[in-house]
């Protein structure tokens, strides 16, 4: 299926005096597919880099002069050519800043247009039908120019086409209601003249487009009654005598576009390839009148392949360069990339099973790069959209909006409405189907929130995160926004559900969490499971320890054995021990409950130590000490036997805690050594490390002995040679 992608604005339109004019005279391709030259209808020419939506240069003629033909780019000489006041040809280069200082030449007759295509020479077409190569014209600007057209004949449209290494200038004229087509080869001065068949009386073609295919020039033209005709003109047409009668031009009706009531005003049809035609200014068959659409039709199957509503007024102008459509509408010139894959009947009828879309439906909580990103993302959402639009249009009453509409809405509507619509959208559609658009929704919500400090939709964002279709790289600003708005619940969700939070962001979160005042932290609402877990950590050690089989272990000695050796022997239950716990660091939680919950989330995110380490250095020593104390507290809690029972909940593992301790020490060791209050902490941690080393050496021993066991089992060593007997059944 052909598809129209999300467009973007290239520039705003300078409104001309009369409203029916877009203010743009022409758009021509420049050096490559990414540059265009836009000529406005009055005085200026602007060079744009399309992908950057940025003007690179602009030239203006003097007040009082007007450009009468759109500027073209001569790729041979890398020069621009334009005509002002019908007779003055101007040639300049990109370096020239002031147009008036550049080269100009006045010719003897009025110029209609200058045409230039890559691979061809610029050609000047005079209003009276004569054609000259620019080079030869400039060598003698005042040379006489013959009149080709009859007295009341006037050019309406013209273009140039390269066919079989020859350049053709094609123009269409009107004379008293009759329409003629001229094919002229500038180097040969050979003219072919054709008469267009008459459509209904009074109708003259609205737009033309010409292309060269299969040794023929294909012309496509649209009449106000919606009929699109195609005519094929042979390149090697019969050599015409000067005075010979114009041949009738055979045509065939490609298709009749539905025009509704009345005739088309400003419309344009443009052949994209052999099977696709872009049409603008013709109403969408399933939308009501009064809406302007850009549509791609398949001429083979007469099907509408893609449509896009264009806001604002349509001027019936349309250009296409390198898979991008340029369309002025309303107050802006939009660039809409499109794609016309080879069509088949199956795809035209929507019956082509695409392996890719199938794959995208596979349940994947971790988004697959291929399906979500770029190219493929548009297709599924588009099908969803068109189907939806159709149903919406049919019923009219249902207020539900499509993804695109919601996206539009997010940009402007108030908070409540946005929340309502997004939630509505989420509840209506299947999440799998929505997957690609969730990212778009989130990023547009975030960009609005960033731009507009008053706008923030925590609930909606949380809901989007909950779909598990988001990840950090899809919407990199989300987590930072949540931090900025102090929406810790959303932060927690993101940390939990995003598989790819960068280390820098993790660290930023950590820093913020540590420095949140406990009072603030306690007022926020966080995910209940994690809070429950943390509660059990803080209270659990004391509450439950002693209950195990009524066993109340002896308190452990300060400097006696190391805290790990006894396993559960360190739990303190008796009242006198409670007093001791106060003095013992690590036995009371150094941070508040909610803060601890947030810190746990940080502990559980994935990271790579090389990337994390530099960011950890940003923490202040106070923060580091606090965090280390908390980690120590967790570590001690975890080393107690009583703790295993709560592990059904999502919680940091012992290894994660140890890794973080190591990382923090790596990052801040010298600072900590110099800080007096950290001394006790470091001593304790040193003890942990000792115990860990001992643990791992024990594990190593166990591993060694287990390996030995395995070796014993595979005793059956086969020698270099043996004779065996096998039995087959």
Partner 1 sequence: MGEFKVHRVRFFDYMPSAIRAMAFNSRTERLALSRADGALEVFNFADSYFQEKVIPGQDGRAVEALCWVRGRLFSAGLNGEITEYDLENLRPKYTMEAYGGPVWTICSNSQGTHLAIGCEDGTVKIFEVLEETIRFQRNLDRQKGRIISLSWHPSGALIAAGMMDMIKVFNAESGHATHRLLVERGVGASKSREVVVWSVAFLSDHTIISGDSAGKVQVWDGVTGTLVRTHLVTKWDVLALSVSRDESSLLAGTSEGTVVQFQFISSTVDQHDKEWVRTRTFKNHTHDVRALAHTDTAVVSGGMDTQLVVRPLLEKVEKNTQESALRKIAFPHRSLVSCGKKAGMLLFQFHGHLELWRLGESDGHGEEKHTCTLSETHGGCQRWQGDDHICCSALSPCGGWLAYSTISSVRLYRLQYNGSNISITKVAKLPKVLRSAHQLCFSSDSSKLFASTTHSSVIIIALSQSECKYLHTLRPKSGTRQPVHLMSASEDGKWLATANSDCEIHVYSLHKLKLHCTVPVYSSCPTAMAIHPTTSNLVMVHADQQIFEYSLVQKEYTEWSRKLQKQGLHHLWLARDTPITHLTFNPRNPAHIIMHDTYMFCIIDQNLPLPDQKTLFYNQMTLRSLPEPERTSHSHSFKICKTFQHLLCVSLLEDHSLVVVERPLLDIASQLPAPVRQKKFAT
Q: Which residues make up the interface to partner 1 (CB under 8 A)?
A: 51, 355, 359, 368-370, 372-374, 377, 436, 439-440, 443, 473-476, 696, 700, 718-729
Per-residue DSSP letter, 199: -
Min. distance of Cβ 475 from partner 1 in angstroms? 7
Q: How far is the CB of 473 from partner 1 (least distance, A)?
A: 5
To which residue do tokens 């009654």 refer? 225
Residue 424 or 476 with smaller CB distance to partner 1 = 476
Of 410 and 626, the one with the shorter C-beta distance to partner 1 is: 410
Burial class (CB in 10 A: 0-12, 13-18, 19+), 492: buried
State whether residue 548 is helix, strand or coil: helix
Token pair of 228 as six digits = 């699109």
Give the Cα-Cα-Cα angle 584, 628, 646 (nearest 5 degrees). Answer: 75
Q: Which is nearer to partner 1, 165 or 714 (CB)?
A: 714
Strand partners, 211: 218
CB of 655 to partner 1, least distance (A): 10
Query: Do the Cβ atoms of 407 and 438 come closer than 8 Å?
Result: no
Specify the residue, 133 or 364, whose C-beta has the smaller distance to partner 1. 364
CA 132, 133, 138: angle at the middle one, nearest 5?
95
The overall longest dimension of the chain from CA atoms, in Å, is 122
CB of 407 vs partner 1, minimal distance in Å = 10
The Cα–Cα gap between 651 and 662 comes to: 19
Cβ-in-10-Å burial (0-12, 13-18, 19+) of 613 comes to middle
Separation CA 115–CA 550 (nearest Å):
98
Specify the residue, 334 or 440, whose C-beta has the smaller distance to partner 1: 440
User: In this complex, which beta carbon is closest to partner 1, that of residue 551 or of residue 696?
Assistant: 696
User: Does residue 247 contact residue 236 with C-beta atoms inside 8 Å?
Assistant: no
C-alpha span between 210 and 162 (Å, rounded): 11
In angstroms, give the least distance from the CB of 365 to partner 1.
Answer: 17
Q: How far is the CB of 114 from partner 1 (least distance, A)?
A: 31
In sequence order, what DSSP letters do the residues of 347-405 get, joined into one string?
HHTT-PPPHHHHHHHS--SSPPHHHHSTHHHHHHHHHHHHHHHHHHHHH-------HHH
For residue 725, the minimal CB distance to partner 1 (Å) is: 6
Q: What angle do CA 376, 382, 387 make, to 5 degrees?
A: 145
Of 476 and 568, the one with the shorter C-beta distance to partner 1 is: 476
CB within 8 Å of 358: residues ≥ 6 apart: none
> Of 320, 290, 222, 453, which Cα lies nearest the Cα of 4?
320
The CA radius of gyration of the chain, in Å to the nearest whole number, is 38
Cβ 169 to partner 1 shortest distance, Å: 32
Per-residue DSSP letters for 684-708? Answer: HHHHHHHHHHHHHHHHHHHHHHHHH
**Residue 611 C-beta: closest distance to partner 1, Å:** 10
CB closer to partner 1, 155 vs 471: 471
Least distance in Å: CB of 446 to partner 1? 11
Q: Based on CB atoms, which residue is closest to partner 1, 648 or 719?
A: 719
Cβ atoms of 29 and 39 closer than 8 Å: no
Q: To the nearest whole angstrom, how small is the minimum distance from the Cβ of residue 443 to partner 1?
A: 6
**DSSP-based three-state secondary structure for 224:** coil
Place of tokens 């360190």: 570
For partner 1, the closer CB: 170 or 438: 438
Supply the minimum distance, in Å, between the C-beta of residue 700 and partner 1.
Answer: 7
Q: Which lies closer to partner 1 via its Cβ, residue 550 or residue 721?
A: 721
Nearer CB in complex with partner 1: 174/433: 433
């Amino acid at each position: 299926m052909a598809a129209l992608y999300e467009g973007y604005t290239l520039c705003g339109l300078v409104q001309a005096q009369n409203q029916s004019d877009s203010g743009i005279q022409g758009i021509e391709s420049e050096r490559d597919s990414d540059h265009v030259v836009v000529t406005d209808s009055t005085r200026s020419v602007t060079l744009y880099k399309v992908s950057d939506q940025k003007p690179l240069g602009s030239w203006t003629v003097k007040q009082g002069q007007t450009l009468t033909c759109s500027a073209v780019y001569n790729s041979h000489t890398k020069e621009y050519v334009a005509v002002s006041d019908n007779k003055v040809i101007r040639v300049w280069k990109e370096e020239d800043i002031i147009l008036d200082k550049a080269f100009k030449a006045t010719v003897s007759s009025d110029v209609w247009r200058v045409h230039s295509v890559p691979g061809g020479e610029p050609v000047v077409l005079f209003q009276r039908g004569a054609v000259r190569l620019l080079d030869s014209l400039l060598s003698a600007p005042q040379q006489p120019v013959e009149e080709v057209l009859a007295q009341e004949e006037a050019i309406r449209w013209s273009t140039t086409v390269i066919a079989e290494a020859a350049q053709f200038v094609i123009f269409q004229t009107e004379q008293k209601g009759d329409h003629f087509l001229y094919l002229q080869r500038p180097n040969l001065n050979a003219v072919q003249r054709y008469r267009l068949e008459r459509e209904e009386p009074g109708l003259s073609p609205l737009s033309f487009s010409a292309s060269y295919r299969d040794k023929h020039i294909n012309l496509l033209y649209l009449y106000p009654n919606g009929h699109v005709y195609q005519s094929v003109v042979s390149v090697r047409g019969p050599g015409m005598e000067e005075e010979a009668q114009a041949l009738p031009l055979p045509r065939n009706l490609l298709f009749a576009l539905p025009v509704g009531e009345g005739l088309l005003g400003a419309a344009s049809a443009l052949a994209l390839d052999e099977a696709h035609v872009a049409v603008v200014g013709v109403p969408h068959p399933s939308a009501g009148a009064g809406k302007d659409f850009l549509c791609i039709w398949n001429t083979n199957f007469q099907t509408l392949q893609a449509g896009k509503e264009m806001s604002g007024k349509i001027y019936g102008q349309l250009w296409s360069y390198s898979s991008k459509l340029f369309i002025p509408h309303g107050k802006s010139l939009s660039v809409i990339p499109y794609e016309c894959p080879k069509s088949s009947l199956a795809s035209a009828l929507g019956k082509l099973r695409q392996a890719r879309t199938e794959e995208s439906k596979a349940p994947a909580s971790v988004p697959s790069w291929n399906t979500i990103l770029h190219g493929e993302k548009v297709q599924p959402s588009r099908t969803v959209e068109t189907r939806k639009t159709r149903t919406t249009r049919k019923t009219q009453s249902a207020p539900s909006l499509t993804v695109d509409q919601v996206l539009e809405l997010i940009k402007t509507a108030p908070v409540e409405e946005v929340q309502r619509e997004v939630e509505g959208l989420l509840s209506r559609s299947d999440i799998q189907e929505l997957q690609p658009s969730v990212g778009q929704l989130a990023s547009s919500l975030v960009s609005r929130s960033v731009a507009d400090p008053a706008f923030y939709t925590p609930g909606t964002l949380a809901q989007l995160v909950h779909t598990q279709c988001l990840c950090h790289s899809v919407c990199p600003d989300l987590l930072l926004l949540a931090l900025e708005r102090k929406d810790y619940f959303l932060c927690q969700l993101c940390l939990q559900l995003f598989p790819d939070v960068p280390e820098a962001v993790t660290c930023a979160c950590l820093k913020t969490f540590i420095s949140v005042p406990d009072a603030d932290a306690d007022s926020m609402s966080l995910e209940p499971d994690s809070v429950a877990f943390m509660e059990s950590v803080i209270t659990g050690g004391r509450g439950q320890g002693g209950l195990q089989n009524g066993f109340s272990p002896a308190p452990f000695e300060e400097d006696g054995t190391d805290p790990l050796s006894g396993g559960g022997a360190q739990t303190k239950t008796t009242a006198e021990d409670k007093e001791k716990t106060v003095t013992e660091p690590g036995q009371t939680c150094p941070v508040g409950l909610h803060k601890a919950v947030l810190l746990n989330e940080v502990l559980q995110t994935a990271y790579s130590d090389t990337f994390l380490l530099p960011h950890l250095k940003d923490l202040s020593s106070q923060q580091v000490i606090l965090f280390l104390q908390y980690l120590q507290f967790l570590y001690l809690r975890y080393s107690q036997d009583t703790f295993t029972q709560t592990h059904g909940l999502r919680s940091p593992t012992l290894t994660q805690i140890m890794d973080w301790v190591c990382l923090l020490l790596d990052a801040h060791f010298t600072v900590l050594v110099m800080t007096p209050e950290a001394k006790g902490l470091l001593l304790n941690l040193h003890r942990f490390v000792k115990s860990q080393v001992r643990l791992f050496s024990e594990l190593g021993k166990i591993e060694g002995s287990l390996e030995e066991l395995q070796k014993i089992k595979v005793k059956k060593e086969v020698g270099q040679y043996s004779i065996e007997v096998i039995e087959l059944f």
